[in-house]
Copies of this chain bind each other. A is one copy, B any other.
Amino acid sequence: MSVDRGDALFWEGDEAEHYYQVISGAIRFCKIMPDGRRQVASFYLPGDLIGIEAADKYRFSAEAVIDSVVVRFPKSRVEAAAAEDPKVGQALLTIALDRLTAAQNQMLLLGRMNATERVASFLLALASRVQLRDTMPRIVDITMSRTDIADYLGLTIETVSRAFAKLKKDRVIDLPHPQQAIVLDLARLEQLSEGAA
């Protein structure tokens, strides 16, 4: 399946009938409050499975950040496979537990970090999630918009922009293009993400 930028795989409240796996692109997993406030719980990148936490209905919406390709599995078929082969269930469990740990770390970010620390953590996470080639890439491609980043980090687009500007001014990163960052001082970035002022 192809999904265009901005299109939804499913909406919060839909009957949860499918799992999705990202092949290419990026999907945001988010929830919107009645007055429009939005929180992105996570970004799903190629290889990631979407929808595993849904029991009866989806509790979050899944929308394409950029044009993407996903495969869709009927939920019932995955469940049948899991019942038949314990390894499938085990694999799902591993994914769920990893994701739980990530969610708990994100709570620390949202609950206790300031704007600069949040953006630093975000950049590090992006850098480490991209192809794990030889070493941590110095060039980080930022596929999502400032709006998506802000809603992921619990900030506004202005604050995200200012945090990028501050990191650039402090020579921690360079920002040749809004969608691309170059890590100049990895150690400093790590310090920031750990909360060292």
Contact = CB atoms under 8 A, between A and B. Distances in A.
A134 interface: no
Contacts of A60: 104
B86 A53 contact: no
Q: What is the oligomeric copy number?
A: 2
Interface residues of A, number: 44
A71 interface: no
Contacts of A93: 89, 92-93, 96
Interface in A149-182: 151, 153-154
B38 A112 contact: yes
Contacts of A34: 194-196
B194 A100 contact: no
A108 interface: yes
Nearest to A117: B33
